[in-house]
Amino acid sequence: MRLTARLLLSFALVALFAAGFGAFLALQAAQTDVRRFFRDQFGEQAMPPSGTPGPGRRSGPPPQRDRELLLERLRDSQVQAAVFAVLVGLLAGGYLAWRSVSPIRHLTDVTRRYARGERQARARVQGADEIAELSAAFNQLVDQLTAEEAQKQRMVADIAHELRTPLTVLRGELEALQAGLMEPTPHTLGRLIEEVDLLTHLVQDLRLLTLADAGGLSLNRAPLELAALAREALAAFGTRAEARGVRLGFAGGELSLPADRERLLQVLYNLLDNALRHTPAGGEVRLETALEGPWGLLRVRDTGPGIPPEDLPHVFERFYRADKARTRESGGSGLGLAIAKALVEAHGGRIAARNAPGGGAVLEVRLPLSKG
């Protein structure tokens, strides 16, 4: 039963009980007082058959003072009955109120325990009223916060790991240069610059994700031809794909929508980079554009091994790698798909990953055809 209905029913029952019980007590008291009054006034003997008053009886109506005494007794009885009924009603109402407030107090106590750091505190869910719904929603919120807190802790650990590797390389080579163990040749300095670039890109990626989380990611929207942008992205990966022995393909027609050109190009770069990393030599990476209702679609298909089903829900998480053996050098930083997701959602779009029926993975981006 819903909480509102239960409270209304409780109040109604208390009111009916108080009124009925008060009326019953008043009636009983009145009958008792009336019998006592007539016994005091007329005695206990029956009326003789002739109709004349018997001994101990008075004939005629009771005197005015006696009638006032009777009315006073009746009023006193009614007051006593009303007071008793109110007391009983208060007790019943207090019990019902305690039953209704008890779950709220429990939820308040659980909330305070969670605020004190007891992360395992959960509310007790009983019944199907509003309090039960609130308790269930509280538990769901706590579970979500716990998961996000654990994810943040993992992310901090991953960031520390990603930063530690290039910093260790930089420190080792700089110490070798300082000690005269290495010559500052162009090749050596070039490796140091590459490590600095890796750090710079990682910091920029983290900053972009932080801006996206805070809603501070700015977009310069303008009418954009998706097909032309797709061809530009494919051209940028032509040399790399050729070196890996992977074919690049395009399919789709002209399609225009409002988007930030640089941000959307970054999305395509990240998706194509991911596809090339997982496509073996002799395979193909295909970029498609399509129109579907109010959405403009971008699809990146590859002929790689696909994504393990257990990894599909996590591919857009930060620092997540389906192949745990991959390193930063062979598998990227683990931020590419997370950044793509953040940029697509900033455009009001959606991104999803699935496995193609014939093999390989499909990453699909849906972008709205209008800003609204």
pLDDT at 47: 41
Highest-confidence segment of 30-44, 97-111, 260-274, 321-335? 260-274
What tokens does 40 get? Answer: 């005091």
Place 27 in a pLDDT band, splitting at 50, 70 and 90.
Answer: low
d(CA 163, CA 317): 18
Could you tell me the CA-to-CA distances from 73 to 8, 20, 22, 197 in Å, in that order? 36, 21, 16, 101
pLDDT at 74: 66
Does residue 291 register a pLDDT over 90? yes
d(CA 173, CA 72): 109
Residue 305 neighbours by CB under 8 Å, 6+ apart: 278, 359, 360
d(CA 58, CA 245): 129
Query: Whose CA is closest to 286, among 257, 246, 240, 254?
Result: 246
Cβ-based neighbour number of residue 215 at 10 Å: 7
pLDDT at 11: 66
Average pLDDT over residues 181-194: 86
Going edge to edge, which strands form the sheet with 295-302?
247-251, 284-292, 295-302, 361-368, 350-355
The answer to whether 325 touches 317, Cβ cutoff 8 Å, is: no
> Which residues make up the CATH 3.30.565.10 domain(s) of the chain?
222-368
Does residue 15 register a pLDDT over 50? yes
Range with lowest mean pLDDT among 246-250, 329-333, 362-366: 329-333
Residues 277, 278, 280, CA angle at the centre, nearest 5°?
A: 100
Highest-confidence segment of 26-35, 89-98, 347-356? 347-356
Place 39 in a pLDDT band, splitting at 50, 70 and 90.
Answer: low
CATH for 222-368 is: 3.30.565.10
Q: For a pLDDT cut of 70, what percent of the chain falls above it?
A: 74
What tokens does 262 get? Answer: 């640089």
Query: Helix, strand or coil for residue 246?
Result: coil
pLDDT at 33: 60
The answer to whether 367 touches 343, Cβ cutoff 8 Å, is: no
The tally of CA atoms less than 13 A away on the side-chain side of residue 146 is 14
Does residue 326 register a pLDDT over 50? no
Average pLDDT over residues 84-113: 77
CATH 1.10.287.130 fits 130-214, yes or no: yes
Average pLDDT over residues 193-200: 84
What tokens does 340 get? Answer: 């793509």
Residues 315, 367, 361, CA angle at the centre, nearest 5°?
A: 35
pLDDT at 50: 45
pLDDT at 71: 67
Does residue 1 register a pLDDT over 70? no
Average pLDDT over residues 164-187: 86
> Which residues make up the CATH 1.10.287.130 domain(s) of the chain?
130-214
Place 282 in a pLDDT band, splitting at 50, 70 and 90.
Answer: very high
Range with lowest mean pLDDT among 151-165, 201-215, 263-277: 151-165
Average pLDDT over the chain, rounded to an integer: 80
Does residue 216 register a pLDDT over 50? yes
What tokens does 94 get? Answer: 């207090």
Range with lowest mean pLDDT among 124-138, 287-301, 336-350: 124-138
d(CA 295, CA 237): 26
Alpha-carbon 250 to chain mean position: 40
Query: Helix, strand or coil for residue 85?
Result: helix
Range with lowest mean pLDDT among 42-51, 106-115, 159-168, 219-228: 42-51
pLDDT at 19: 67
In Å, the largest CA–CA distance within the chain is 147
- Burial class for 341, CB neighbours closer than 10 Å (0-12, 13-18, 19+): buried
- For 266, phi and psi rounded to 5 degrees? -65, -40
Could you tell me the CA-to-CA distances from 108 to 3, 124, 135 in Å, in that order? 17, 11, 10
